[in-house]
Amino acid sequence: MTNDLVRMTAREIRSRLHDRDVSPQELLDALAARIAIVDPSVNALPTLCFERAAERAREQDYSGTRLQGLPIAIKDLIAVAGVRTTWGSKIYEHHVPPHSDLLVERLEAHGAIVYAKSNTPEFGAGANTFNEVFGITRNPWDTARSAAGSSGGSAVALATGMAWLATGSDLGGSLRNPASFCSVVGFRPTIGRVPVDPGAVAFDRIAVDGPMARNVGDVAMLFDAMVGRDARDPISLYDPSESFEAAADARTVPTRIAFSKDFGVTPVDPEVATLCERAAGRFADMGIPVEEAHPDFSGLQHVFQTLRAVSFAASLGPLLETHRNVLKPEIVWNIEKGFALTSEEIIRAMTERSRIYARAVEFFDQYDLLLSPATVVPPYPVEQRFVERLGDHEFSNYIEWCSIAYAITIIGAPALSVPCGFTASGLPVGLQMASQPGTEAHLLGAAMLFEDAAGLSGQLPIEPRGQR
């Protein structure tokens, strides 16, 4: 029965919960059994809280809620009351918060049961999931490879049947990169769509939280339970008028689509570029015009690197003086970069971002969708901290290889990574799909249309595979 359950989609599980064909406790038992078998090979869910989950399963009636008592894994950047929450840092190695993040409160109110925390790099910094508290998370398609990050633990748990649903977060691609590397779906929504604890920079954020699952329909279902206004988050948006799950099921047909292999900002592995171009061609096969085009992202590197550094200085700066010797070098560099910025550099980043956004709005007046690779390389060796070079191009820092993802971050648009194929060596590749800010419903519908055409969503879960 465990194998039967873990292979079902989240929406199938919700239906069985609704019909009382299965109980939340039976689901928790199935997950515990699966984790015991699988996680030693991949290290995706280092913190488990099955006792807390079982207590909630016993004491609460989940009938009538959106998620009906579905278990969910929470990324270890998000506080869960009474559960060890470390942010992947030795500074908080033994931290147990008394209160949950408001997003966790919202999910639990909608019938989610938290049973595990998923691994993340320290404070979510970097696109390879490792830290000094829990170690390395490995890619299940090849355990010698990276799962990317920073939502790598969530992506791996989904791919291997240790989760039906999981949360992720995304500043420079932290939802989309691991989704691409693990052949699952990761969705970065419009800024403000998902309310979160605002932190030190309440009114000017570029990071968001979002849903992760094995397919688009499950992502849309979880997304419905995440969105809505919360006064504690000053930029959170009011409740949408329609269900995102219903919008996904409607399978929106775009009228005109743009594809770009590189947005004019980054080199791309040729095999990845070819696979994504072929994937974009599936829309052309439906009779939808697909053209090579992208917004003008001139100034992207200065804008993103500056705003990211400001964010690091504001949120993690106080830790630099007291815990410099504990923080990993990439974080120290990012914080110091933020403190060293001049007012002129910050002002230029703000104004250049506004110009990029204005050009993107004009672009999306012509195209319903913008397609590209979600990552510029296939999964790389796990012992590499980050991608240092691609071809003749040497990346200037540990995050620049994610340019194709953070170009979308800067314009505040919704974007997701959906599986689109595999390299000759069997490693997953994701297609990034983006649309006008605020148009998540249309994007999810188009993604469901693509998913049907690609026919890859039934391939999970997989058993972890050794080095190829």
Q: Whole-model pTM?
A: 0.98
DSSP of 411-461: HT--EEEEEEEE-TTS-EEEEEEE-STT-HHHHHHHHHHHHHHH--GGG--
pLDDT on residue 412: 96
pLDDT tens digits, residue range 11-26?
Answer: 999 999 999 999 999 9
pLDDT tens digits, residue range 296-344?
Answer: 999 999 999 999 999 999 999 999 999 999 999 999 999 999 999 999 9
The Cα–Cα gap between 235 and 202 comes to 8
Residue 355: Cβ within 10 Å count: 13
- Whether the CB-CB separation of 427 and 378 falls below 8 Å is answered with yes
Residues labelled as active-site residues: 75, 150, 174
State which residues of the chain have pLDDT below 70: 1, 468
pLDDT on residue 460: 93
Name residue 356's amino acid: I
The Cα–Cα gap between 53 and 112 comes to 10
The residue length of the chain stands at: 468
pLDDT on residue 62: 96
Structurally, at CATH architecture level, domain 2-300+344-459 sits in Alpha-Beta Complex (3.90)
The secondary element (H helix, E strand) that includes residue 286 is none
The secondary element (H helix, E strand) that includes residue 136 is strand 135-136
Residues 6+ apart with CB under 8 A from 304: 172, 403, 406, 407, 409, 410
pLDDT on residue 239: 87
Q: Where are the domains of the chain?
A: 2-300+344-459
Of 213, 14, 243, 239, nearest to 106 by C-alpha is 239
pLDDT on residue 468: 62
